């Protein structure tokens, strides 16, 4: 007598807070990440750059001009220089006022404006995990950079200090590394083979149209534009055995498309809104 296997239940789509809850708070600030955790995000996403004194900070742009009251390249400034800048006041003041008056959010003022180091963000993640949250972190290395492989070296060293450079016994890794640079991911994979890596894509390279990924990458990270214009590519990636993490997904119709295509993770500036649309809030 044979028994039919029951159909497997698909895993829920992971909701990843892009630079924190960055639609509601200044991106890459501690307040934005605390808000994302409060909103129930499954994972946090951050960009990292190396300062002149070799400290990893969470800043997206090569220069600080857009997101602070200062000027200059992150790589040419020391951490003390960045600590003297205001990284929050560029955010629309009325928008912040509206969110500050929300009864479920009471950010610490300094956490809305101070530069955030990767180390402090890792502390926040570890605090949440120690409290019972299965919170994950997706770290994007930014390129090109004057520091080349030193970014990956410093990143892995920092993760190692927190015991996050490899998966725990019998469980998934709480950290994954993402990049548009295949070389960066190759460096990470060579030094930390068990650490998940995500290859971010702004367009589909002709040599990767069949769903392959560069050496060193295990997860596909197509931009939402690719998913809208070439939804069939998601199926190719899945047939090739790759998980698919899509960025940056903010609009309800884009969330619906990602659900229909069966992606594994949605990276969004609006984690609360996406969780609500998925019926999880």
* Catalytic-residue membership of 245: no
User: Does the active-site annotation cover 18?
Assistant: yes
Mean of pLDDT values over 121-135 = 97
Question: Residue 4: inside a domain, yes or no?
Answer: no
Higher pLDDT, 147 or 246: 246
- Over residues 267-280, the mean pLDDT reads 98
- Residue 59 lies inside a defined structural domain of this protein: yes
Q: Which of 28, 60, 233, 245 is catalytic?
A: 60
Beta bridge partners of 14: 265
Distance CA 57, CA 79 (A): 8
Q: What is the rounded distance in angstroms from the CA atom of residue 260 to the CA atom of residue 140? A: 26
| Within a domain: 147 | yes
Confidence at residue 158, expressed as pLDDT on a 0 to 100 scale: 98
Question: By residue range, what is the domain housing residue 207?
Answer: 14-277
CATH number for the domain that contains residue 115? 3.20.20.190
Could you read off the pLDDT of 66-107 as tens digits, one per residue? 999 999 999 999 999 999 999 999 997 545 545 555 556 667
In a domain, 1, yes or no: no
What pLDDT was estimated at residue 6? Answer: 40
Contact 125, 44 (CB under 8 A): yes
- Whole-angstrom distance, CA of residue 94 vs CA of residue 12: 35
Number of domains in the chain: 1
Whether 5 is covered by a domain: the verdict is no
The answer to whether residue 145 is domain-embedded is: yes
**Contacts for 37 with CB less than 8 Å, ≥ 6 apart:** 44, 124, 128, 133, 135
In a domain, 260, yes or no: yes
> Which positions ≥6 away from 132 have C-beta within 8 Å?
none
On the 0-12 / 13-18 / 19+ scale of CB atoms within 10 A, 273 is buried
Whether 8 is covered by a domain: the verdict is no
What's the pLDDT score for residue 87?
A: 97
Question: CB within 8 A of 87, min separation 6: which ones?
Answer: 26, 28, 29, 64, 67, 68, 113, 114, 115, 116
pLDDT in tens, 9-58: 468 999 999 999 999 999 999 999 999 999 999 999 999 999 999 999 99
């Amino acid at each position: 007598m044979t028994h039919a296997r029951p159909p497997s239940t698909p895993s829920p789509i992971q909701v990843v807070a892009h630079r924190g809850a960055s639609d509601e708070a200044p991106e890459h600030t501690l307040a934005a990440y605390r808000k994302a955790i409060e909103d129930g995000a499954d994972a946090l996403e951050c960009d990292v750059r190396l300062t002149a004194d070799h400290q990893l900070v969470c800043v997206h742009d090569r220069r600080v001009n857009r997101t602070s009251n200062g000027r200059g390249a992150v790589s040419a400034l020391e951490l003390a220089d960045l600590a003297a800048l205001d990284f929050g006041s560029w955010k629309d003041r009325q928008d912040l006022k509206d969110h500050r008056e929300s009864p479920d959010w009471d950010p610490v003022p300094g956490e809305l404006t101070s530069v955030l180091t990767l180390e402090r963000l890792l502390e926040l993640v570890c605090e949440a995990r120690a409290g019972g949250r299965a919170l994950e972190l997706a770290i994007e290395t930014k390129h090109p950079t004057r520091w080349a492989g030193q970014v990956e070296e410093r990143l892995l060293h920092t993760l190692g200090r927190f015991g996050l450079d490899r998966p725990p016994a019998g469980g998934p890794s709480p950290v994954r590394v993402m990049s548009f640079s295949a070389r960066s991911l190759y460096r990470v994979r060579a030094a930390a083979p068990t650490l998940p890596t995500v290859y971010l894509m702004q367009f589909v390279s002709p040599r990767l149209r069949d769903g392959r990924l560069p050496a060193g990458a295990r997860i596909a990270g197509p931009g939402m534009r690719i998913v809208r214009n070439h939804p069939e590519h998601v199926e190719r990636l899945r047939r090739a055995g790759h998980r698919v993490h899509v960025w940056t997904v903010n609009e309800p119709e884009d969330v619906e498309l990602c659900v229909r295509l069966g992606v594994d993770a949605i990276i969004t500036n609006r984690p609360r809104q996406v969780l609500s649309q998925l019926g999880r809030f």
